[in-house]
Amino acid sequence: MAAEESGGVGRAPACLCVLCGLPAAGKSTLAREVLSTAAQHGWRASVVPYDDLIPEQAFQTKVEGDGVKLQEMQTEWKLHRQAVLRCIEQVLEKPRVLAELPSSCQINVAAWQQCIQSLQQPEALDRSPLLFLLDDNFYYPSMRYEVYQLARKYSLGFCQVYLQCDLESCISRNQSRSNPIPTEVILEMVKRLEAPNPQKNSWETNSISLNTTDNLSNGDIQRLMVLISNALSNPLSPVEDNTEQTEADRLKCATSVVHQADQACRRLISDAMKTARDNQVPPEHMRSLAAQLNESKATFLHNLRRQLLQEATCIQEEDVDVERVVNRAVDVFDHERQEIMSRIINGI
Over its length of 348 residues, how does the chain's per-residue pLDDT go in tens digits?
Answer: 444 444 444 578 999 999 999 999 999 999 999 999 999 998 999 999 998 888 766 555 443 433 334 434 445 667 888 889 988 998 888 766 555 655 555 778 888 888 888 776 655 456 789 999 999 999 888 889 999 999 999 999 999 999 999 999 999 999 999 888 899 989 988 888 999 999 888 899 999 999 999 888 899 999 999 999 999 999 998 865 556 666 667 777 778 888 888 999 999 999 999 999 998 889 889 999 999 999 999 998 888 888 877 765 555 444 556 777 788 888 889 988 999 988 888 775
DSSP 63-130: EETTEEE--TT-HHHHHHHHHHHHHHHHHHH-TT-TT---S---S-HHHHHHHHGGG---GGGTTS-E
Q: Give the residue extent of every domain in the chain.
A: 2-233, 243-346
- Assigned superfamily of 2-233: P-loop containing nucleotide triphosphate hydrolases (3.40.50.300)
Name which of 202, 197, 236, 223 is nearest 15 in CA terms. Answer: 236
Burial string for 209-230 (b: 16+ CB within 10 Å, else e) reads: ebebeeebeeebbeebbebbbe
User: Helix/strand/coil (H, E, C) string of 227-291?
Assistant: HHHHHHHCCCCCCCCCHHHHHHHHHHHHHHHHHHHHHHHHHHHHHHHHHHHHCCCCHHHHHHHHH
- pTM, whole model, 2 decimals? 0.66
